[in-house]
Amino acid sequence: MNAALRSIILLMTMNVFIAGCQRPSENHAPQPPDAAQREHLVAAPAGERNDPYYWLRDDSRKDPEVLALLEAENTYTRAMLAETRPLIEDLAAEMRARIPDEETGAPFFDGGYWYYTRYEAGGEYPVHARREGSMEGPEQVLLDGNRMGEEEDYFRIGGWDVSPDAKKLLWLQDVVGRRQFRLLTRDIDSGEVVDTGAGGVSSATWAADGNSIFYVENHPETLRSFRVKRHFPGQDRDDEVLYEETDTAYYTSVGRTRSDRFNYIFVRSTAATEMHVIDSADPAARFEVFFPREHGHEYSADHVDDHWVIRTNWEAPNFRIMRAAQTGHADRSAWTDLISPRAEVFVHEFDAFESHLAVAERADGLRRLRILDYATGQSRVIEFEEAAYVAQLGRNREPASDTLQFIYTSMTTPRNTYELDLRTGDRKRVKQLEVAGGFERSDYRTRRLWAEARDDTRIPVSLVWHKDTPLDGSAPLYQYGYGSYGSSMEPAFSSERISLLDRGFVYAIAHVRGGQEMGREWYEQGRLLNKVNTFTDFIDVRDHLVGDGLVDGERVFAMGGSAGGLLVGAVANMAPEKFAGIVAHVPFVDVVTTMLDESIPLTTNEFDEWGNPEKPEFYRYMLSYSPYDNVSRQEYPAMLVTTGLWDSQVQYWEPAKWVARLRDYKTDQKPLLLHVNMDAGHGGKSGRFRRLEQTAMEYAFVLERAGLN
């Protein structure tokens, strides 16, 4: 942003803020900005709607009037939180104190090297490094995020890949926060870095021969990942287009199999997937379809030894694991079961070894691990003792290995990395996430319970609290939910959350329909024309916890982000009296207008999730719950809303418009705050310490409202 534009925005910001402050006020508190209304008709087959705040959309992010309004919102939020500034600083400091200055993650073995990620004292960004042969050898730094990002307001390494010969590195880099990465390479021995010139990249991988790079280019307007190109480092030739996905419902990515023999193109929509594979060590080879796409058929495959292992929902709603011959993958009738379909168990993913198969699956809402021995055909589940936990696969890159790396965590147990001997079943812990600042695991309790929804469906709920906090109806509740895209919310550990627990909050994850905690049907019951189940489940979980006398019904707070922001936004309209406060991070709240506009990133891929509003049935249903369209003249809870100017997932104007409309309609005097991160996107600020500032603000907001400041 140039100096002249910045000066104009500063002047306009002051004008907007002063204009707001001139409105009458009994307590002389700061007054919020007052966004102008301008008539704008949004056309749809089922009828037109007036959207008076449509003008807040600025794709360029350069309109001085829009930027001035967003800056005025930030000024107002800072003024309203001024009295809690000491608490915010205290919270940020104690969360910072729990993060060790120096930290090294669990290493994983690949091609003769041990790879790992570490953080340096005071460093915001990771350092990716490796050691040859053992962890006792000399360190070879691959990427130093602190040095690379030191001059940037935002910095992120989006992914990296070492060539099969271990001599070359590629990585993706974002300095805006819009997830439009630039592709760079490095010769590991010489250190020479080359900018390939490829921007707007979403994924990349070395070819199996190590002489070229496959990468995916995003559409410049919709940001949909759609075109696969091949880049030859060091050669003076244009990048070759290998594949272009023309169906706008599909996204595209690239990768390499565990065997390092095949590369693949993976295309996915909400309801179907398709893979294309190439024996890229063969110069004459071309990509071929692994199995043709079918609506409703989702599959993914990996190559190990001389066969393919496939996760598929063919005649298996909760997925199964199958095997196919190396050259027989296009004939589905020749696929054979390794893990047969089960009605009560959902299969998430797998790691295929030459002698065993490790499967991450979910039963009764909990994620666990199963090990299959090819030789005996027998499988076993790895058992754990806690009532609510997460067990997931680690980094297992060597298919010939007899050792499985896996991760275990719970809401009271920091992340532990284990190694399991696949032959004997013996396991050992190789790394535990260090939590500084006096944390004692024994000070906290966790529980899994079930809430009954209004249609008699049992909803799993994960609880965590401090041992000194009584579950007798006197403690405040912080309730989190998501419930979209089949994404399951795991009961994992958070060192930041301790700041709430230590101050007397009970924290709950409501595993509402729309995720896949209870299998594929759980997802089906929370999408398309069943979406309202997601919102009513969340309300019913709150009512259960209050009704059973576990928490204080006058101090219940709701939090959600992105599609979870849609959840809490809908809940704010449907049951505002049941919540003392709501925190909505980057909320997807303008559902209908966004889904009508196919130029907006992500829209076309989402029709199978929300429905296509060009069809009257879906239009009316989406309009019935869209948070922006259902704001009404009533009292609302205190609300903190966050967004990022460069967000490519949920554009900043959705929460900005929502807040403007809420101010027009709400009949209460409770705070309604909008915080706009002007230098970041969907994930907020970059850096392991800088990101704590927003969390501290969020926690201070709810602690103040709960009387625990």
Which of 647, 648, 675, 686 is catalytic? The answer is 647
- Give the Cα separation of 455 and 467 in Å (integer): 33
Structure tokens at 154: 């935002």
Residue 307 is among the residues annotated as catalytic for this protein: no
Least Cα distance to 204 among 247, 239, 167, 237 occurs for 239
Residue 682 is among the residues annotated as catalytic for this protein: yes
Residue 495 is among the residues annotated as catalytic for this protein: no
Looking up tokens 């006096």, which residue turns up? 438
Burial 454-480 (b: 16+ CB within 10 A, else e): eeebebbbbbbbbeebebeeebbbbbb
Backbone angles phi, psi at 147, to 5 degrees: -70, -40
Which of 231, 466, 682, 686 is catalytic? The answer is 682
Which of 225, 562, 648, 686 is catalytic? The answer is 562
Burial 433-448 (b: 16+ CB within 10 A, else e): bebeeeeeeeebbbbb
- Give the Cα separation of 601 and 594 in Å (integer): 9
Task: Report the interhelical angle of 653-665 vs 64-80 (nearest 10°).
Answer: 60
**Residues making up the chain, counted from first to last:** 709
Contacts of 387 (CB under 8 A, 6+ apart): 446, 447, 448
- Give the Cα separation of 203 and 229 in Å (integer): 11
Give me the DSSP letters along 385-436: -SSS-EEEE-----TT-SEEEEEEE-SSS--EEEEEETTT--EEEEEE----
Contact 541, 454 (CB under 8 A): no
Task: Give the Cα-Cα-Cα angle 582, 587, 593 (nearest 5 degrees).
Answer: 130
In this structure, are strands 581-585 and 638-644 parallel, antiparallel, or unpaired?
parallel
Contact 326, 308 (CB under 8 A): yes
Catalytic residues: 562, 647, 682
